């Protein structure tokens, strides 16, 4: 994947995730409202809050990975495995544009 195309994909994905993060954050900020008196509704609200908090954590983690990929792109290291220094397959970068390891290294523990 050429650097310009990679940057465009990463920035588009970053914009999408940033918008998701802000929507979730807005939803979570309504948490200050009192919970419903009904215990079933209260349980549902708490479950929804936990799910949204988990989704927000995932979005923030993915945003960090994208920022790291953009930094690697700026440094000229994008598309190279951080473990073995071999090129990461284009197919892998098409699926996970912020991948830091080739398939072989990603499959190895520790």
Is-contact 59 21, C-beta < 8 A? yes
Does 54 fall in a domain? yes
pLDDT at 76: 94
pLDDT in tens, 34-93: 655 666 665 666 567 688 777 888 889 999 999 999 999 999 999 999 999 999 999 999
DSSP 8-state symbol, 81: -
pLDDT per residue over 2-44, tens digit each?
A: 889 999 999 999 999 999 888 888 877 765 556 556 666 656 6
Domain count, the chain: 1
66, 77, 102, 105 from 98: Cα distances, Å: 6, 12, 11, 15
The average pLDDT across 92-101 equals 95
Query: What mean pLDDT comes out for the span 101-110?
Result: 87
CA distance 14 to 12: 5
Query: Does some domain include residue 65?
Result: yes
Residue 48 parent element (H or E): helix 39-75
Query: Is 51 inside a domain boundary?
Result: yes
Domain membership of residue 102 (yes or no) is no
């Amino acid at each position: 994947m050429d650097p310009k195309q990679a940057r465009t994909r990463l920035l588009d994905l970053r914009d999408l995730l940033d918008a998701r993060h802000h929507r979730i954050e807005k939803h979570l900020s309504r948490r200050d409202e009192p919970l419903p008196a009904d215990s079933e509704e209260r349980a549902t609200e708490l479950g929804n809050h936990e799910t949204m908090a988990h989704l927000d954590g995932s979005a923030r983690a993915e945003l960090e990975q994208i920022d790291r990929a953009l930094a690697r792109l700026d440094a000229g290291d994008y598309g190279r495995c951080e473990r073995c220094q071999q090129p990461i397959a284009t197919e892998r970068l098409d699926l996970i544009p912020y991948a830091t390891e080739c398939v072989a290294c990603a499959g190895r523990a520790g």
